[in-house]
Structure 1
Amino acid sequence: MQPRLAVITGGTKGIGLSFSRRLLSVGYRVVALYRSDQESAARAVKELGDDGFTALQSDISDSAEAFRTIELLLSEHGTPHVLVNNAGRNIDRPFLEMSPADWNQVIEANLSAPFYLTRVLAPAMLAAGGGSVVNVAATTGIRPRLNGANYCASKAGLLHLTKCLALELAPTIRVNSLIPGMIDTEEMNTRFRTDEPEFRDRLLAEIPQGYIGSPESMADALEFLVSDKASYITGQKMIVDGGQFMW
């Protein structure tokens, strides 16, 4: 029998790459979808090889392209046991300066794309006996921030979509959300200026565990959520944040 398949959006860099790396290490085949960053995709293929790992370019925020991609994926790779909706987009603006395009691009990437992929894959997963869907949300889906109305709304919607899907796809498919706190990625370092001691110390003071998490800590949580050890967990949000928010 072939190893189980996992589909991971945004799976060629950052936290998504740690997901790809981890699920490969525990025996999954992985198809990592990416939108446009060819360099990151090439680095991921070089690191992970092509034995069990495939990087596939697609703009899944476009419904027609998402449906074409999934049809291709199903025909060439089979039905996934795991779907990780990890890819996201962030366009920060003050609300009164936010354009309809700023709103739509973020909503489409962060909320519509998980709907499209899950909607097309769920019937095949149900027919194959089930599996697990993990939606990567954000703390700002619970607590808002300035200049991020589009992003916060998209992630709040994703949290509620997770619960709705958990209700409707149970008991065959489990659906949960995974929420990163401060995780050591290039994007986080740029946003929070963690290379500068003043800003790093201020951030660490907010985290009871006293350190910034690694992408591997997110992969630990994902490995658990998709495993049989989490068989009685669905419709939940797991926050990996060192105690920073405690929601």
Structure 2
Amino acid sequence: MKLRNRVILITGGSRGLGKSMALGCAAEGGEVIITGRSSVQPEWVYQYEQVSYYQQDVGCLESTKKVLERVFNQYAQIDVLVNNAGINRDHLFKDMSLDDWNEVINTNLTGPFICSKAVLPYFIDQGYGKIINISSAAATRVNIGQANYCTAKAGVEMLTKVLAIELPRIGNITVNCIQPGVFEEGMGEELMSREKVWDKYKPRFASGRPGYGNELASSLVFLASDESNYINGHVLEVNGGLMWV
């Protein structure tokens, strides 16, 4: 039970890879809070005593502060923040609107900034905390039609490295990042549903297959546990050997 007595907040945790990570953390004894934009709690949450759902707009500071206050009032601690919430608005650059750009940047990059900023006072007061950002292979591998998404995820990785240098100076705080490749859950499911696109993409995997949600969850559990306490500023690629070209 690697996460017993740990409180883990996962943004965008209601479905896809966020759900897989939430269940992985709960299985290791963690108290897990997932957030999403909907006011309706996902049905699957009712089956797990260790998982709670709160509504949150990660791009809004006030919404995020309210969620953190709720978490702290309920558990008296916040140990791990997982910045997972993300969206895509894919278009070729010539067709990409300013709204397409702003929505992705606001959720995927400004969201981790806001959430990390808001949780910092709690980490400082308790003298401990972990921030784990969820990036994407799109941060380092060009995808046509994803100027907004690739830019945001590359920014997440650089934000990780800057905070990993700054935050340990003011407390026992580590900041790391997981860079997933394509998984059967989440956005990967959409990619695999486009047969012609997937047939061209699939040969890029050295493993010959996409990942499974539990394989990403185990990586998160490791970074959220005491086993990773001396790891800081690291971007962990979990992609089955996804080639660069």
**2:28 paired with 1:30:** no
SS at match of 1:205: helix
Tell me the alpha carbon deviations over residues 145-184 of structure 1, each in whole angstroms, 9 at most, x when there is no partner.
Answer: 2111111111111101001111111261111110111111
After TM superposition, give the deviation of residue 66 of structure 1 in Å. 1.9
Counterpart Cα distance in 1 of 2:58 and 2:149? 17
Match of residue 175 from structure 1: 175
SS at match of 1:93: coil
Match of residue 149 from structure 2: 151
How many residue pairs were aligned? 240
C-alpha contact 1:17 1:44 (8 A) present in aligned 2 = no
Q: TM-score, normalised by structure 2?
A: 0.90
After TM superposition, give the deviation of residue 225 of structure 1 in Å. 1.1
SS at match of 2:237: strand
**What amino acid is the match of 2:79?**
H
From 231, 234, 242, the equivalent of 1:233 is 231
Counterpart Cα distance in 2 of 1:168 and 1:95? 35
Match of residue 221 from structure 1: 219
Counterpart Cα distance in 2 of 1:57 and 1:122? 20
C-alpha contact 1:67 1:116 (8 A) present in aligned 2 = no
From 95, 111, 118, the equivalent of 1:120 is 118
After TM superposition, give the deviation of residue 229 of structure 1 in Å. 1.7
C-alpha contact 1:9 1:32 (8 A) present in aligned 2 = yes
Tell me the alpha carbon deviations over residues 2-39 of structure 1, each in whole angstroms, 9 at most, x when there is no partner.
Answer: 9221000111211111111111111111110111284x
Q: Label 1:204 to 1:143 Cα distance change in 2 as closer, same or farther (>3 A).
A: closer
Q: TM-score, normalised by structure 1?
A: 0.89
C-alpha contact 1:62 1:108 (8 A) present in aligned 2 = no
After TM superposition, give the deviation of residue 201 of structure 1 in Å. 5.2
Q: Label 1:96 to 1:203 Cα distance change in 2 as closer, same or farther (>3 A).
A: closer
**Gapped regions of structure 1 (runs ≥ 5):** none
**What amino acid is the match of 1:55?**
Y
Counterpart Cα distance in 1 of 2:52 and 2:234? 29
C-alpha contact 1:145 1:152 (8 A) present in aligned 2 = yes
After TM superposition, give the deviation of residue 216 of structure 1 in Å. 0.5
**Runs of 4+ with >3 A deviation:** 198-204
| Root mean square deviation, CA, Å | 2.1
**What amino acid is the match of 2:179?**
I
Q: Label 1:37 to 1:140 Cα distance change in 2 as closer, same or farther (>3 A).
A: farther
After TM superposition, give the deviation of residue 199 of structure 1 in Å. 5.7
**Gapped regions of structure 2 (runs ≥ 5):** none
Question: 1:75-114 alignment to 2 at 5 Å?
Answer: 75-114=73-112
After TM superposition, give the deviation of residue 112 of structure 1 in Å. 0.9
Q: Label 1:143 to 1:85 Cα distance change in 2 as closer, same or farther (>3 A).
A: same
After TM superposition, give the deviation of residue 60 of structure 1 in Å. 1.6
Greater CA deviation, 130-139 or 223-232? 223-232
**What amino acid is the match of 2:181?**
G
Greater CA deviation, 100-109 or 62-71? 62-71
Tell me the alpha carbon deviations over residues 91-111 of structure 1, each in whole angstroms, 9 at most, x when there is no partner.
Answer: 112212222211111111001
Match of residue 12 from structure 1: 14
Counterpart Cα distance in 2 of 1:157 and 1:169? 18
Q: Label 1:201 to 1:144 Cα distance change in 2 as closer, same or farther (>3 A).
A: closer
Counterpart Cα distance in 2 of 1:95 and 1:120? 33
